[in-house]
Amino acid sequence: MTMTDLASGASSVERVRDVARIRDVLNRQREAQLAHLDALTREHAAAGTSGQAQLRGLTAGLRQTVAQIDTALMQLEAGRYGICLSCSEPIAPPRLEALPAAVLCLRCQRLKERR
């Protein structure tokens, strides 16, 4: 749900509830990613040097996901949640429902992945 969706036709109480719900979802996802990162770090310490390259890749991906969630939370607090960081167009509500931490619209995400 974008901030535009929150602003259109919803009462202030409904908007506050929606923002709180989105914040809760993002915070739960963030905590889950951090817990996974912690578990991988402990596993790595126990395993020694074997599998270090794979572990580095996994932990880098988790850190990137946490950073993306943090960005989405900052966007939410700034009143810009659901607005693409690249083109400033609204991110489609189905994309945000599927990936609440999305900070790029589908078009900009595809362009980024092609680079």
Q: At what angle do helices 12-47 and 52-77 cross, to 10 degrees?
A: 160
For residue 72, is it within any domain? Answer: yes
What per-residue confidence (pLDDT) applies to 4? Answer: 45
Q: What is the pLDDT of residue 111?
A: 95
Residue 101's CB is within 10 A of a number of other CB atoms, namely 21
Task: Note whether residue 26 is domain-resident.
Answer: yes
3: tokens are: 């901030």
Predicted confidence band of residue 40 (pLDDT cuts 50, 70, 90): confident
- Residue 87 within any structural domain of the chain: no
Total count of domains within the chain:
1
Q: Does 89 reside within a domain?
A: no
Q: Give domain status of residue 59, yes or no.
A: yes
8 Å CB contact between 99 and 107: no
Using CA atoms, how far apart are residues 63 and 59, in angstroms rounded to an integer?
Answer: 6
Average pLDDT of the residues of the chain? 84
Range of the domain at 24: 3-81
What's the pLDDT tens digit per position in 14-25?
A: 777 888 999 999
Residue 81 banded pLDDT, cuts 50, 70, 90: very high
Stretch 58-70: mean pLDDT, rounded?
Answer: 90
- Residue 28 counted as domain residue: yes
The pLDDT, as a whole number, for residue 100 is 92
Q: What are the CA-CA distances from residue 7 to residues 12, 27, 109 (Å)?
A: 8, 22, 25
In a domain, 32, yes or no: yes
- Whole-angstrom distance, CA of residue 79 vs CA of residue 58: 32
Q: Are 72 and 100 in contact (CB under 8 A)?
A: yes
Residue 110 lies in a domain: no
Q: Return the percentage of the chain with pLDDT > 90, whole number.
A: 57
